[in-house]
């Protein structure tokens, strides 16, 4: 479960499902960052970073659970994915991927509130 201070804690399945039912909508705490890069004359690129809620580590020996994921939709990096253990890593990763795709974001590592979306028009 992702707490309001962006720390995570392990909870029962029942607690997680209750949390998910109130935090899975657009703009919820589950969304770390969402940037839509509008490219004139080309397909838009969507970069989305979210809290997964379930450990996606494939190794049982991994001490740190993998709980966050950034994905790119469309463009050169379409369907590429990066995963992270902490909220801070997810924010840094989101910023890096947005820059890598040629965009800008208002998301900052030192944020207090999650920024849900940011639309930039790139003049090419």
Domain boundaries, the chain: 13-122
CA angle 37, 34, 72 (to 5 degrees): 65
Are 99 and 82 spatial neighbours (Cβ–Cβ below 8 Å)?
no
Residues in the chain: 124
Residue 120: predicted pLDDT: 36
User: What mean pLDDT is reported for the chain?
Assistant: 78
Q: What's the pTM value of the predicted model, to 2 decimals?
A: 0.74
pLDDT in tens, 3-47: 878 788 888 888 888 887 877 666 566 778 887 887 767 788 999
Tokens 């509130």 appear where? 113
Are 105 and 33 spatial neighbours (Cβ–Cβ below 8 Å)?
yes
The percent of residues in the chain predicted with pLDDT above 70, rounded, is 78
pLDDT in tens, 80-94: 999 999 999 999 999
The torsion region of residue 52 among left (phi > 0), alpha (psi -120 to 50) and beta comes to alpha
Say how many C-beta atoms besides its own lie within 10 A of residue 31's C-beta.
Answer: 19
């Amino acid at each position: 479960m992702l707490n309001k201070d962006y720390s995570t804690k392990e909870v029962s399945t029942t607690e997680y499902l209750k949390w998910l039912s109130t935090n899975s909508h657009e703009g919820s705490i589950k969304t770390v960052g969402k940037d839509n890069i509008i490219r004139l004359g080309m397909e838009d690129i969507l970069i989305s970073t979210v809290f997964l809620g379930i450990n996606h580590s494939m190794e049982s020996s991994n001490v740190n659970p993998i709980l966050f994921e950034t994905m790119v939709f469309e463009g050169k990096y379409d369907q590429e994915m990066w995963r992270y253990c902490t909220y801070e890593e997810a924010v840094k990763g989101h910023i890096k991927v947005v820059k890598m795709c040629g965009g800008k974001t208002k998301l900052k590592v030192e944020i207090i509130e999650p920024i849900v979306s940011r639309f930039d028009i790139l003049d090419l």
